[in-house]
Amino acid sequence: MSLFVVEYTYTPETSSLRDDHRTQHRGWVSELVRRKIVRSTGPLADGHGALFIVDAEDEDSLARVFAQDPFAQENLVAKVHIREWTPAMGEFSE
């Protein structure tokens, strides 16, 4: 498995719709955390996106997983950026 960083970018226009689907989104994320696929996640402080640290085989399989997010299925994510990450120090480097 490799570690990846997934970055969501949101637009202000979808804010109220994200509120409508937040419970389903958080349920989906919670299941990925339970399965140890998502190692850490949270919204960006400015409200314009979120970050996920994820264990996955490869970028393509990860993109398929994130396509199942209720936010993605409702077209509430303006951009998804997936990058493989090689932590050099700290908790995720061990």
Q: Which CATH number characterizes residue 7's domain?
A: 3.30.70.1060
- Kindly report the backbone phi and psi dihedral angles of residue 89, in degrees, each rounded to the nearest multiple of 5, phi listed first: -145, 160
User: What mean pLDDT is predicted for residues 21-46?
Assistant: 97
Range of the domain at 23: 2-88
pTM: 0.93
* pLDDT for 25: 98
Neighbour count for residue 54 (Cβ, 10 Å): 22
Give the dihedral sign, CA 88/51/10/61: positive
Q: Is the pLDDT of residue 38 over 90?
A: yes
**Based on the structure, what is the number of domains in the chain?**
1
Query: What tens digit of pLDDT does each residue of 43-93 get?
Result: 999 989 999 999 999 999 999 999 999 999 999 999 999 999 999 999 888
CA-nearest of 78, 29, 21, 19 to 52 is: 29
Residue 8, classed as helix, strand or coil, is strand
**CA atoms in the 13 A half-sphere facing the CB of 87:** 13
**74 occurs within a structural domain:** yes
